Amino acid sequence: MAIVQVRTFARYAELLGDPVGVEIELPTTVANLIVALRRMPGGDRLPNQPLVAVDHAVAGTAAVVSLGSSVALLPPLAGG
Amino acid sequence: MTTAPFLTNRPLVASELERDLATPADGAVVSFAGVVRDHHEGRTVVGIEYSAYAEMAEQVIAAIVLETEARWSVRVGLRHRVGALAIGDIAVVVTATAAHRDAAFAACRHLIDEVKARVPIWKHERYADGTTAWVDPTAPGGVSR
């Protein structure tokens, strides 16, 4: 098992803290990481499929998270 | 094109981008400024705090700038504020300069639309009644519950 440090922002940072450490076996998928995040305190208020970025790019649920990946949980974007 | 950093905590002025971008070959200069307004979904807004995932936001904006310049024959610039803004402050400014207006208008519209759709930036609104909320364009009422 490893600890993945997930950056969170805006409302998700209020729910989970920033960063949030997720204990999970690596490599894994974004889908598995979301499941683990939803089990954490405050995670039950996340949507079923929140937006996730891996290495600064939006990643689908099948994307791989490896040791050293930069992972972020992104609330609905609201720039402009 | 203007270069990174595209995010700034300094006040924005559209004319600065226009001055930096325009060349003697440009017959059209089109800018759009997004301004903090005093209302949202029927509530009175008194200020907005902008925050960003800066590392990713800079990369995404750079990609949008490059793809816009490649699609139209234009030079484009973009700046987006972070931090606390008051009513009337400019939150984002985009500028496109080109030989002719059609390309400049199209590029400017593309820039602001792509920024809103793809750049990891968030707004925390403060209301006149003392409450706050995160803006969520996907949620009923436009804010997170």
- Whether residues A78 and B122 touch (CB distance < 8 A) is answered with yes
Residue pLDDT tens, chain B, 145 long: 667 799 999 999 888 899 999 899 999 999 999 999 999 999 999 999 999 999 999 999 999 999 999 999 999 999 999 999 999 999 999 999 999 999 999 999 999 999 999 999 999 999 999 999 999 999 998 998 7
User: A68, A69, A67: which is closest to A52 by C-alpha?
Assistant: A69
Helix B54-71 vs helix B101-118: crossing angle, to nearest 10: 150
Tell me if A79 sits within 8 A of B116, measured CB to CB.
yes
Chain B residue with Cα closest to A55: B56
User: B62, B142, B75, B70: which is closest to B108 by C-alpha?
Assistant: B75
- How many contacts (CB atoms, under 8 Å) link A and B? 74
Does any CB of chain B come closer than 8 Å to the CB of residue A9? yes
pTM, rounded to two decimals: 0.95
φ and ψ of B71, to 5 deg: -80, -40
Cα gap B120→B54, rounded to integer Å: 8
Q: Are strands B83-86 and B43-52 parallel, antiparallel or unpaired?
A: antiparallel
Alpha carbon B72 to its chain's center: 19
The one-letter code for the residue type at B57 is A
- Whether residues A72 and B120 touch (CB distance < 8 A) is answered with yes
- Whether residues B52 and A72 touch (CB distance < 8 A) is answered with no
Listed in sequence order, the DSSP H helices in B72-120 are 101-118
